[in-house]
Structure 1
Amino acid sequence: MHQLIAYFKFLLSSTNQYGVHSPFVYDYLTKCLYKKSKYRTGKTEKVLFKSISYFKCKTIWIAPANENLKQKIKKAFPFVEFNAPTYDLIYIGAPHLEEYLDIISNKTHNDAMILIDAIQKNKENMALWESYKQLEISRVTLDMFYCGVIFPRSEQVKEHFKIRI
């Protein structure tokens, strides 16, 4: 029941690319997320795979419990490395702020992307997502109901978007 109510609230407050005033986010939506996909996966995995392709990610960190996802990525993107001093993309299967805070804060760079699954699955995940948004590194955040994205982009003002995908 919680997810249904949360989804209706999300629909009332979210937008598409036309409600976005950031050129970076607009391009990400129109040239990446809203493009037709060749990937036959769930919503969050589509965001992940499309983003890897769009940003040409070379180094990716996947939370340890997602070995199956790591294999899928390696098959689709054989050039991707999973061990590096910094990462272009970090994927966290569900919000665990305390566990992954060090990786998010110290293993990313300005143009990195942090993708977090299931941000609105329950009240605890929603509270953790709110905590992620408050981090110093979180300059641009996108709530897509199924998942959330954080971009460190220090050159941009702190903004939060709710986007329908």
Structure 2
Amino acid sequence: MQSQQQTTNHKQRTALRIPPYIKFLLKSQNQHGLHSPFVYDLVTKCFYDKNYHPEYELLETYRKELLQNKQKIKVTDFGAGSKVFSSDTRAVSAIAKHVGIPKKRARFLFRLVKYLNCQNILELGTSLGIGTAALAANKWVNVISLEGCPQTAKIAQQQLAKFGLKNAKVKIGEFEKLLPLQHQTTNRKQQTTNSHPKPDNPQQRTENRQPRTPNHKQQTIHDLIYFDGNHTREATLDYFEKLLPTSHNDSVFVFDDIHWSPGMEAAWEEIKAHLQVTVSIDTYYLGLIFFRKEQAKQHFKIRL
């Protein structure tokens, strides 16, 4: 009996020592065995798209310039704080290196916007604008990015302007004061003034672009929202609830660093369980949420 108890305790201690990412890999899958046609197409045609896109060069140059920028700025942090920096005075190059979204994820965001043919995009947490540039590199989209720190927002605004990403606008202020965004939403069928052609895409939007609230004429309806700001459970859930009415059937919510802390993992689990959420995809670093009413509720762990 004692031997069995010791064996059980040993297994429990061993399980606790397994790094979270290894646990993810053990439970994750790739495109094989996916029984959802929507998720299968998304994974094979977007996640694992190996084609070279010219916009990748823009994104890489944008990043390299920031990595070479030795200017020091005083950062105002409204979120969960930094696991890297002990001082609020930081070099732009260091922020780009340690805080900026990695190249692989930036490219994925670009492909996701292109594949889903998004138009109206909201980003919570501009930082230096690396993620913003990835979203806005699809020139037909409209990106609104919110940033609480005036110093990093200024750098982002300069960079976005330098690279000709005029379709991305940075608004400075605390998220709690800026949300929800009160605009007159634009019907996608009426958006004919944009000179940039929309891509040929199998996931063309349809009549599913209907808002979830009756007062939608006062709110922008978002095709994609990228949550990369305050990495706490309470704030993440609060922003999710506030912005849920601005989604439609084909919207996607992308959450950054869902395994950053126990609090973020708890928020992710609560969001997955929400009644309006039908499909979730955990890529470890990013979590994707869909609201497609025609889909059975399913949760996936997929290697990116």
TM over 0.5: yes
1:52 aligns with 2:113: yes
- The residue correspondences of 1:1-165 to structure 2 (distance < 5 A) are 5-36=19-50, 37-38=52-53, 39=56, 40=60, 41-66=102-127, 68=129, 69-74=131-136, 76-82=137-143, 84=185, 85-93=220-228, 96-103=236-243, 105-165=244-304
Q: How far is the alpha carbon of 1:126 from its aligned partner?
A: 0.8
Q: Which has the higher strand share?
A: 1
- Provide the TM-score with structure 2 as the length reference: 0.49
What is the alpha-carbon distance in structure 2 between the residues aligned to residue 78 and residue 44 of structure 1? 19
Q: Calculate the aligned-residue CA RMSD, in Å.
A: 2.0
What is the alpha-carbon distance in structure 2 between the residues aligned to residue 61 and residue 47 of structure 1? 16
Q: How far is the alpha carbon of 1:97 from its aligned partner?
A: 1.3
Q: How far is the alpha carbon of 1:102 from its aligned partner?
A: 1.5
* Structure 2: stretches of 5+ with no match in the other structure: 1-15, 61-101, 145-184, 186-219
- Give, as a single letter, the amino acid of the residue that structure 2 aligns with 1:13: K
- Provide the TM-score with structure 1 as the length reference: 0.88
What is the alpha-carbon distance in structure 2 between the residues aligned to residue 86 and residue 102 of structure 1? 12
Computing the radius of gyration over CA atoms, which structure comes out larger, 1 or 2? 2
* Alignment check: 8 A CA contact 1:142 1:150 kept: yes
User: Structure 1: which 4+ aligned runs deviate by more than 6 Å?
Assistant: none
The alignment covers a number of residue pairs equal to 161
- State the percentage of identical aligned residues: 37
* Alignment check: 8 A CA contact 2:107 2:134 kept: no
Alignment CA distance shift 1:59-1:159 (3 Å): same
Q: How far is the alpha carbon of 1:82 from its aligned partner?
A: 3.2
Q: SS where residue 300 of structure 2 aligns?
A: strand
Q: How far is the alpha carbon of 1:49 from its aligned partner?
A: 1.0
Larger RCO (alpha carbons 8 Å, 6+ apart): 1
What is the alpha-carbon distance in structure 2 between the residues aligned to residue 15 and residue 72 of structure 1? 26
